[in-house]
Amino acid sequence: MSSAWNWYIGIIAVANILACVWLIRWTAKKRPGEGAAHETTGHEWDGLTELNNPMPRWWLWLFYITIVFGLIYLVLYPSFGSYPGLLGWSQYSAWEEEVEATEERVAPLFAEYAQIPVAELAENDEAMQTGRRLFGNNCAVCHGADGGGRPGFPDLTNNKWNWGGDPEQLHASILNGRSGVMPALGGALGEQGVTEVSAYVFSLTGRDAPDDLVRRGRQRFEQQCVACHGADASGNTALGAPNLNTPENWIYGTSLEAIRTTIRDGRHGVMPGQEEFLGEDRVHLLTAYVYSLSEEARAREVNGASDD
């Protein structure tokens, strides 16, 4: 910002205060002496006459006190653009002091939680209440308040993880972030090739697609896609390549058109790392909370395997 604006702001502020002083002095009236006639405003109603009396002295002095307060404020605080004020106060330093004080108060609690393994911490109701607040403040804007996700952002409640769902893998995802890239294959496959591969991928979840398209799409898939998704299309957690046999892993939609768009144009998803913003201890608690979100889904899978 130009320094001229700083002078402009300062001059306007001081001029307004001086104008207030002048206005009060100009409108101040001496009280009439004993027995002197009172000046009226000329307004009369129902036998009552409005007198043009000066303000009470105590009220007048209150105005002067506020003017003095304003002048002192201008000197002590940053009121003239870039002028920092004698106290050197700023909203940024005040915020930093508040954050530092809060950190000193809560850091021991997060440090205590950090000593507990993720799976065990996920069973601690009190810790999970704190984890839920952390999630709501930092993750809900993308993944939803309930962790259910939305197009482009994975559902964290279904135990289907493109980068792996073990505590160590979840911790790495939150701490360091992830960057998943699906390359655009429209140029390599052509529109017909995109249609064929889309039909094959669509059929992997048991949905009907033309047999001739599925057959040719499988051949193209084996040539172009197995390096990331595997020969059986079960994905690769090291690359973040989703399992194409389970639609819960498809974060950009499971419709045929969504599949075509993904294959033709590609996708690029970024999960920002939280280490610098939250710190190691908070990430540990957040990992436990995210791990707890899919606990019911994990239990169902274990029970289903046991029944088999």
**pLDDT per residue over 179-235, tens digit each?**
999 999 999 999 999 999 999 999 999 999 999 999 999 999 999 999 999 999 999
What distance in Å separates the CA atoms of residue 242 and residue 165, rounded to the nearest whole number? 13
61 domain-assigned: yes
pLDDT in tens, 248-305: 889 999 999 999 999 999 999 999 999 999 999 999 999 999 999 988 777 766 565 5
With bands split at pLDDT 50, 70 and 90, how would you rate the model's confidence at 32? Answer: low
96 domain-assigned: no
Q: Nearest to residue 160, comparing CAs of 224, 169, 207?
A: 169
Residue 25 pLDDT: 83
> Token digits for 258?
């969504």
Say whether pLDDT at 31 is over 60: no
Say whether pLDDT at 33 is over 70: no
Per the structure, the count of domains in the chain is 3
128 domain-assigned: yes
Backbone angles phi, psi at 146, to 5 degrees: -95, 5
Backbone angles phi, psi at 241, to 5 degrees: -75, 125
Q: Nearest to residue 290, comparing CAs of 109, 55, 127?
A: 127
11 domain-assigned: yes
Q: Are residues 262 and 293 in the same domain?
A: no
pLDDT in tens, 60-85: 889 999 999 988 988 898 877 677 88
Q: Nearest to residue 14, comparing CAs of 91, 73, 65?
A: 73
Q: Are residues 216 and 259 in the same domain?
A: yes
Q: DSSP for 40-87, please give it.
A: EEEEEETTEEEE-PPPPHHHHHHHHHHHHHHHHHHHHTT-STT---TT
Q: DSSP for 50-62, please give it.
A: EE-PPPPHHHHHH
What distance in Å separates the CA atoms of residue 193 and residue 90, rounded to the nearest whole number? 61
Q: Are residues 169 and 288 in the same domain?
A: yes
Tell me the HSE value of 60 on the side-chain side, using a 13 A CA sphere: 15
288 domain-assigned: yes
32 domain-assigned: no
Q: Domain holding 120: CATH number?
A: 1.10.760.10
Residue 186 pLDDT: 95
Prediction pTM value? 0.72
What range does the domain containing 114 cover? 101-177+272-307
Enclosing H/E stretch for 36: none
